[in-house]
């Protein structure tokens, strides 16, 4: 299994007391291969010697590890694949990650008999993720697994033609919180949270945006975008370059700057199979679909001149809510176009969900390139019930979604607690309510 499988729970304070692991699909492994595992249990210690040369004597292939009826926690594990000769199976790697009390997923991935968890500190294991990979095969990153994406009908699909959902996180403005664009943050979200994409939000006017600063500011913001794309590419993540109009309202206001920017970005990343272009975040202030369409029909060919297959997301009127207007008069003549819908769960409820469903049923490919589980101010009440209804609907239609926002800003939409200054390797307890909800949601849908 190249994609990690989970056992256990997170965020509920529950311990793992015991478990079974059994190989399935053994026709994909050499004859005689088996999986072996060793556990450290409260009041018992390690159930077997931890030396890898004794791994053949560990519990294996469906045997029970841990305790039953004693209320004793599992504190650490070792897992290894062995061959018919009882030695480590060559050519294959078993990787595993544990979610532990107080330290979450922060240990990252262990492999081939390494100890995952802690001993001597009375910390329970709460969840375990396991995956098996063949050496020299795909690294298992999202882009390695799914490759170049396309839009078929209303559905985003991967290189094999299978339906695919992007599930990611957006930065806050790159002028405001640039420190979160780093390899540790992106890898933590990929490996610990389960995202497959990041969105780089470059404001055009607000917060020292690209179109209001001087040449030095524009150069700095471009550098941050390029760095973000390269980091995402190195980690096998999909990445959205977001022309984040907001206070400027109408994308035509800075059309000339958009043309020059996307011309440069599309030229630079023309050979990347992981880059998506979002050309106008949230048109608002009475901007009509006709005006947005006029802008899009000018910018899209600039991007497509470098890569005909590039995926482009087009914003819609009223802060990217009026997808019905785009469905009634879509942009023609280009492949791989999608249309943005944004929601904030405590404000936007059944009526917007139904508007989205009707637009998709009419044939419009929709991408939720920004959402939050609070109200539309970005800092109001959180509504997990409505957020869960949104996820049910998005999953029903296979709609991709990007959560706002990766920062510790003192607002309820921020994913990191405002008193936490770390810019990566976060414990679950260091996430905000929105952040903890996001991680749980992603775990359920892996």
Catalytic residues: 282, 370
Contact 347, 376 (CB under 8 A): yes
- Alpha helices for 90-157 (secondary structure H): 142-146
DSSP letter for each residue of 343-358: EETTTS-HHHHHHHHH
What count of other Cβ atoms lies within 10 Å of the Cβ of residue 68? 9
Helices and strands, counts by H and E, the chain: 10, 21
Rounded CA-CA distance 116/94 in Å is 13
CA 385 to chain centroid, in Å, comes to 21
* Measured CA distances, 439 to 100, 169, 401 (Å): 15, 11, 14
Cα–Cα separations (whole angstroms), residue 52 to 25, 83, 87, 114, 314: 25, 13, 8, 9, 54
Distance of CA 80 to the CA centre of its chain: 28
321, with CB counted inside 10 A (0-12, 13-18, 19+), is: buried
Region at 113 (left for phi over 0; alpha for psi -120 to 50; beta for the rest): left
Buried-state track 148-169, b at ≥16 Cβ within 10 A, e below 16:
ebbbeebbbbbeeeeebbbbbb
Measure Cα distances from 379 to 51, 171, 212, 239, 385 in Å. Answer: 52, 16, 26, 26, 17
Say how far apart CA 425 and CA 158 lie, in whole Å. Answer: 29
Q: Are 66 and 74 in contact (CB under 8 A)?
A: yes
**Terminal CA-CA length for the chain:** 13
Decide: residue 53, CB within 10 A, 0-12 exposed, 13-18 middle, 19+ buried. exposed
As to burial, measured by CB atoms within 10 angstroms (0-12 exposed, 13-18 middle, 19+ buried), residue 351 is exposed
Phi, psi at 21, each rounded to 5°: -130, 130
Please compute, for residue 93, the number of CA atoms within 13 A of its CA located in the half-sphere on the CB side.
17
């Amino acid at each position: 299994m190249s994609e990690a499988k989970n056992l256990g729970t997170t965020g509920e304070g529950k311990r793992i007391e015991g478990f079974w692991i059994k190989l399935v699909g053994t026709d994909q492994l050499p004859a005689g291969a088996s999986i072996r595992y060793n556990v450290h249990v409260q009041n018992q210690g390690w159930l077997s010697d931890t030396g890898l040369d004794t791994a053949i004597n560990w519990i294996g292939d469906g045997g029970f590890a841990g305790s039953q009826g004693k209320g004793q926690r599992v504190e650490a594990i070792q897992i290894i694949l062995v061959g018919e000769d009882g030695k480590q199976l060559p050519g294959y790697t078993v990787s595993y990650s544990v979610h532990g009390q107080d330290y979450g997923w922060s240990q990252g991935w262990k492999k081939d008999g390494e100890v995952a968890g802690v001993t001597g500190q009375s910390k329970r294991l709460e969840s375990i993720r396991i995956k098996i990979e063949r050496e020299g095969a795909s690294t298992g990153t999202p882009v390695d697994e799914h490759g170049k994406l396309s839009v078929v009908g209303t559905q985003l699909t991967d290189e094999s033609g299978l339906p695919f959902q992007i599930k990611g996180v957006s930065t806050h403005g790159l002028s405001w919180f640039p420190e979160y664009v780093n390899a540790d943050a992106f890898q933590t979200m990929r490996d610990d949270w389960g995202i497959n994409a990041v969105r780089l939000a470059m404001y055009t006017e607000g917060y020292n945006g690209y179109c209001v600063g001087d040449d030095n500011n524009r150069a700095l913001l471009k550098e941050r975008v390029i760095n973000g794309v390269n980091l995402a590419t190195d980690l096998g993540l999909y990445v959205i370059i977001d022309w984040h109009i907001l206070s400027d309202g109408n994308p035509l206001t800075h059309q000339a700057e958009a043309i020059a920017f996307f011309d440069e970005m599309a030229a630079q990343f023309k050979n990347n199979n992981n880059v998506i272009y979002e050309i106008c975040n949230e048109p608002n202030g009475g901007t009509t679909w006709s005006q947005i369409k006029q802008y899009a029909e000018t910018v899209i060919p600039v991007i497509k001149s470098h890569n005909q297959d590039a995926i482009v997301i087009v914003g819609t009127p009223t802060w990217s809510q009026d997808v019905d207007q785009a469905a009634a008069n879509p942009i023609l003549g280009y492949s791989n176009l999608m249309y943005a819908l944004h929601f904030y769960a405590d404000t936007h409820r059944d009526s917007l969900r139904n508007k989205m469903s009707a637009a998709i049923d009419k044939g419009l490919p929709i991408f939720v390139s920004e959402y939050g589980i609070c109200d539309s101010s970005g800092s109001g009440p959180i509504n997990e019930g409505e957020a869960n209804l949104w996820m049910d609907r998005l999953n029903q239609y296979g709609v991709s979604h990007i959560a706002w926002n990766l920062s510790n800003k003192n607002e309820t939409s921020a994913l990191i607690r405002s008193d936490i200054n770390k810019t990566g390797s976060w414990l679950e307890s260091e996430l905000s309510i929105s952040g903890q909800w996001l991680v749980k949601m992603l775990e359920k849908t892996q």
